[in-house]
Every structure is written in C-alpha cells, then in structure tokens.
Chain A
Amino acid sequence: MKSEYTITVYTENQVGLLNRIAIIFSRRKINVESLNVSPSEVEGIHRFTIVINETEEVVRKLCRQIERQVEVLKAYYNTNEEIIWQEMALYKVPTDEVAEKMKVERLLREHGARAVVIRKDYTIFETTGQREETDKLVKVLEPFGLIEFVRSARVAIIKASKGFHEKLKEFEEGEPSEELAENEFLDKGQSVFTM
C-alpha cells in the first residue's frame, strides 16, 4: 500500500549530486512531492529531505539505490508517524482587507500566522505547520483577495534518532555498529537509525 514517506539523505556537498539523486526517482517515474536541501549539523555534510508517495518496498529499494551513489553517506526512510515535520508558507493579502476586517485578524491569530511585511498595498503573512494547516489558511484567505501563496519543502527530524553525528563517526572510522546492514528478514524491529 502506498503512503507518504520521508527520505533523509546525508551527502557530501558536490555540484551535480542533486541531479544524481533526482534521476533515481525520475528513472522509475516516481513523483517527488517535496525536496529540501540544507546543511546538516556535521560540517561538510548536507542533508536532503525528500517526500514521496510509495509502498515501503519501493522506498526501501530507492534508499539502497541512493546509497550506492559515491557521494551519499546514508539514506533513511520514515513514515509520518516517525518524524517531526514542518513546512513554511507565505501569504500575500491586500492590506486594506486585513486592516479593516476584524474577522481576518482573528482568523490569522487562530492559524498562528505572523506578519512579515506590512505595506500600504499588501501584507505578507507567514505560517509554519503541516500541509493541512497551511492549506486551511489558503482556503480562509481566498475570500479576502489572497494575491499570492507559496509553500516551502518539508523539513523533518526523525523522532527515534540519536543524532547523525555519532553514527557518522563510526562510519568514518570504518567500524560501523552491528546494525551495518538492514535486511527485512534479519533486522526486524531494529531501530530506524542504523548505519
């Protein structure tokens, strides 16, 4: 059964790597729902956060294929239950609507929106949350002349992780822990964060 999976990939920082990872999905005609690249807490190591809708078997194989790439250190996949995740959204609305209509102000407060820029002609609000939450505010603002809307990619932290830094040290020493390898028959019930 298909469901939403978040793939976290730790890589070296090199030109062209984004393409190398992206074509692993496009070759198999898999649509990437969201993609974010950022530095990680480890110097020189970048972190890709990729969201796709697929079966677990496909996702597991994809992670193996991603890990095969020379510049990739490790790829993990998680269900939504296993991660804390957020997306950020920006909304541009006419200032007169916001200023004059109390209702809008209350709605914004209910949705935890924050004003980023206030100009005579328009105001930009920002919210951070999950997809349903940011989507809800779009619906709410539409009647008040929403001018523009944009949402960022997902960023996620794995709940069970003890941090990548320790694992990386083991990896770099070439002495990974026993859980070096994952296999669905042999490694049932192992914690998500293995190397």
Chain B
Amino acid sequence: MSTIEQKTSTAATNNNSEILKDSLAGTVELTGSQAVLEAFIAEGVDTVFGYPGGAIMPIYDALYDYNDRLKHILVRHEQGGIHAGQGYARSSGKVGVVFATSGPGATNLVTGLADAMIDSTPLVCVTGQVFAHLLGTDAFQETDVINITTPVTKWNYQVTDANEIPHVLAKAFYIAGTGRPGPVLIDITKNAQIQKIDYKGYEKCTHIRSYRPKPIVRKSYVEQAAQLINAAKKPFVLFGQGIILGKAEKEFKAFIEKGGLPSAWTLLGLSALPTDHPLNVGMLGMHGNYGPNVLTNECDVLIAVGMRFDDRVTGRLDKYAKQAKVVHLDIDPAEIDKNVKAEVPVWGDCKETLPLLTKLIEEKKHTEWLAKFNEYTREENEVVIQHELHPTTAVLTMGEVIDSLNELTNGNAIIVTDVGQHQMVACRYAKFNQSKSNVTSGGLGTMGFGLPAAIGAKFGAPERTVVAVIGDGGFQMTLQELGTIMQTGLDVKILILNNQFLGMVRQWQQLFNDKRYSFVDIQSPDYVQLVKAYGIEGNRIDERSAIKSALATMLNHKGSYLLEVMVGKENNVFPMVPQGCSVSEIRLK
C-alpha cells in the first residue's frame, strides 16, 4: 500500500493506475490530489489548462507524476485557461478541464464560467481553496468561490474531505456533459488535497436522484409537430447549437431534406449544416441575412431546433413571428415559452426527437417559398454583400479578407472569433463544410475570448487548421496568451482585422449617437514586432493585392503566424436590426 507513495515521491516511475489495477486488497492509499487526477484519467481527459498557485499546489505536485498521461497547458492568465478549455470543448465535443488556485485564480475564471454557462459549454473547473479550518477567516487568497460562481455554473461544490473526491468529480463530469451542457466548478480545500484516503477505484456517475438530463419525449407532441409541419405552406427552421451539442447533424439534415425546409442558423448553430447546403438560407439575428429575418415574420410554421430565441435573434419580441405557429425542440424545458410561446413543445434530445419527427413528416419541396429567400438574397447581395466582398474603393473590407480565406481553406478550417464587427463579418461570410468548426463567444460576447479559445480549439482538434479572427480591441485583452503559444509550440493562425477602432461600438455611436465617438479610438502596438518577441512570425498588409498571398503564407507557414490586415476604419456591418426594432425592420444600409 505504501508503494504508491514511494513511487509518486520519487517521480521516476509513476504509473499509478497500473498499481491500482494490481492492488490485491481492492483499495490503495491515495491523496485527494491523486484521486482528482485518477478521476480525470478515468473520464478520458487528455488535456488540462491551468495555472498553479498556493492553494492548488498539492494537485500540481501530484500532476508532476502524471505527466505522461495528462497534458497540462500552462496558460498566462486563468481567464485564458478557461477560454482555452471552452475552445477545446467546442472543437472536440468533449468536456474541457481547467485548474486554478484559490482567490484571484478562481475569480479570474468567472468571465469564462459566465461565457460557458450562457453558451452551454461543458467544463469541469477545479479550484484550490484554503485549508478547511481557515474558511471564513479572510485567510490569504481566500475567496468565497462557491457563492461567487453559483449564478454562472450549472453546478458547483466545495470539497473539504478527500473521501468525497471520487464521487464528486464523477458527478461533475456527468453534470457538465449531459443534458444541456454547462460549466461545473469544484472547489477543493488544501487539506482535502493532501489528505490520504483508501481509494476504491473510480466509478462513473450515471444517475443523480434529482437530475434528469433529458426530458422524456412525448410522442403526442411529436405527432402534433409533424401535423403542423405537414400542413405548413411556408415552414421555416431556425437551428442553434443544440444540434452540435446533441451530435445530431445527420439527423437534422435528414429532417430538413425530407421536408424541404428552408433553415437559418443562430451564431452558435453555425457549421451544424454546411454553408453551401441548398436549404441553408443563412444567418438569423441582428447582423444576420436579409431573407431569414424578414421571412420570420412571413412564415406560417416556425420550427426552432436547439436554440433559445436570444434577443439578438428575435429583435422586438411583440413583433416577432406573431403570424406563425411555433414548434420548439429543446432539451431544456426552461427554454420552452421563455421568450417565444410554443404552440407545440417537443422537449428532449434532438438526436432522438428529430428522427421521430422525420419519420412523420411528408416529403416536400416548398420550391416557391425557398425561392423567396433567394429573392431577398439577391437584394442583399446587390446592396451589401457585393460591396463587402468585392469593394470598388481602395479601402479594404473585412469581408473580402474572409472571402479570400474561404478560397484557401475550402471551408475546412476551424474559425475562432473574438467579439465585435469582425465576429459578425467572419460568421456571415466564412464557409464551413463540417460541424464544430465555428468557435465564438455568442451569448456573453466576451472580448478577449478569441486567442485563448483558438489555443484550446487547436488542442481539441490538433489535425485541423485553426484560424483565430480577432479585432484590434479584443486581441489586446488577452494577448498574454501568446506566451502559451510560444511555450507549447502550437500552430494557431492569428488573423487580426485592424480598423483602429472599437468598431462595433463606433458603428452604434455613428448610427445612434450622432457620430459622437466616445472612447472608441484605440491604438495598437506593432503586432508583428510584438509576436516576434514571442518567436512567432508575422506580417502586416494594407493593400488588396497582397491579401491572397499573405493569407496563403500564413496558412502554409509551419507553426503559429500572425497576419494583421489594415481594414477600413469606418466600415459598418450590415444588414442590421436596430435594437428595439422588429426583425422585419432590418436595415440594409
């Protein structure tokens, strides 16, 4: 029994799991810290993003011996760590895992937790905490992490006794990854990390008394939904991230193809359906496409799949799709009727409900109705898209850069974006062939998300090209993570679209505040010099003729590369549904 202790302290041989298997007694003595890492191994975790500190030192000490089985990525800031965890989860479809110490380490996670909560990203964050006997004494680096993180976690729990660790972590992974996924935080006091326990092995959690990850599918609702869809003359499908989280891309495609249903995506639903699919009619919402927005108020049956009617999608609610009967498919019963009343709620996992629905709907084409979307596309093309992708003035647009990127990646890259104008342009114009290719901060709109999320996305999908499209504002929020790229030798392509403004706020100030540009004029350092200091190559261009070759150089470069493109200072993103307006009042200019 004591062999395990000797082994871990010598750090030479370190395969604890094998010792566990060999143990005749059925139990071995492990520290709480070792039990945490054993849980990770049992859950199939291969990568942990983290930053050490006083209260999490015992876990880091144990980690020293797990180096061959757990890849730990040392980030430069805990916010970077958690965004990397999110990027990893989004590109891999697995649970992202993050370590942070107590106090400031834990509070630095809060933005990422809120982001993961609103965007339903599965995470397990483990934070160190002061010794249990010091709780509530204002000890060094003590913060009430559980109460701070309660509103931004799906579940959180403080462990003060190491015996709880195996089943609490099993619960954490189960809760984070099932049902509507979300972030879970486990706060472990230092004494529990050190405490020795008789470890009886790890048992995955499959049931919690009070928790039902998926509501049971009600057949009668599916039948009623099918009836509505079959009777519809102008059916319209809105799809969100639920399809990707439910791994139901195939089921969704079969559904819309059988019904001939025009389908539009939310920001997070992007890439669930290939961009060039004939039934993909574009993007919803504030900066979405013309047709999907206007025709929301013309369709007769609105079928929402795995989306939550965010205010950026619906615009003014009392003028939203009032003529339509709404069918809402969602795994989270709290989303039904929350913003938009559903005529028929089809709750359940869309991986189960979509095939049931597909079976019951009639094969249809809806050619005329689909053509209507194309009419609006033509108009949008003339007034907006043409000028964005093929501008006639000398000023570069973000759109033409993304368009060139499409040609070079053929829609096969993972595009990670930050938040702002570049995000809207990238999501509007980037092409995607496969799912889990779009990583962006949707609900929370977290500037600074892009760079660390791209790092995580690359670790989650190492075989794929990852391009981080970031603005000059957001990049400066988390550029310390260049250090993480440097140290790990990671291959992430960073594309900065620099308009020398906090562009989205500037656009609003121009449109709604009489061009009173209040603190949106932001200066940038020399990014090429900056990344050079981190051993990363870079280039800066400001001419149209250089775009394609500069992007090709970036993509062909071995290792990370930064390309800064100077784009028009006062370009705006259109179409736009002004705040407080109905989706049919969308402006093309």
Interface residues of A (CB under 8 A from B): 11-12, 15-16, 19-20, 23, 27, 44, 60-61, 64-65, 67-68, 70-73, 171-172, 174-176, 178, 180-181, 183-186
Contacts and interface: CB of A to CB of B under 8 A. Distances in A.
Nearest to A12: B210
B9 to A, nearest CB: 34
Nearest to B342: A183
Interface in B178-228: 208-212, 215-216, 218, 221, 224
Nearest to A22: B150
A87 to B, nearest CB: 28
Contacts, number: 72
28 contacts: A11-B210, A16-B146, A16-B156, A19-B147, A19-B150, A20-B150, A60-B337, A61-B334, A64-B333, A64-B338, A68-B332, A68-B334, A70-B210, A71-B210, A71-B211, A72-B210, A73-B209, A73-B210, A171-B212, A174-B212, A180-B215, A180-B216, A180-B218, A181-B218, A181-B333, A183-B345, A185-B342, A186-B345
B369 interface: no
A184 B146 CA distance: 36
A23 B218 contact: no
Nearest to A184: B337
Contacts of A180: 215-216, 218
Most chain B beta-carbon neighbours within 10 Å: one of A68, A71, A176:
A68
Contact of B208 (A44, A70, A184): A70
Contacts of A186: 221, 224, 344-345
Interface residues of B, number: 32
A23 B212 CA distance: 22
A68 B332 CA distance: 8
A58 to B, nearest CB: 11
A67 B334 contact: yes
Contacts of A12: 209-210
A70 B211 contact: yes
Contacts of A61: 334, 337-338
Interface of B: 146-147, 150-151, 154-158, 175, 208-212, 215-216, 218, 221, 224, 332-334, 336-338, 341-345, 347
Contacts of A185: 341-344
Given A60-B337, A68-B334, 14 more contacts: A12-B209, A16-B158, A61-B334, A64-B333, A64-B338, A67-B334, A70-B208, A70-B210, A73-B209, A172-B209, A180-B215, A181-B345, A183-B337, A183-B345
A178 B219 CA distance: 10
A172 B150 CA distance: 26
Nearest to A15: B158
Nearest to B338: A61
A27 B151 contact: yes
Most chain B beta-carbon neighbours within 10 Å: one of A27, A70, A183:
A70
Contact of B216 (A15, A19, A176): A176
Contacts of B155: 70
A140 to B, nearest CB: 43
A11 B212 CA distance: 13
Nearest to A180: B216
B42 to A, nearest CB: 21
Nearest to A62: B334
Contacts of A183: 336-337, 342, 345
B210 A181 contact: no
A64 B147 CA distance: 22
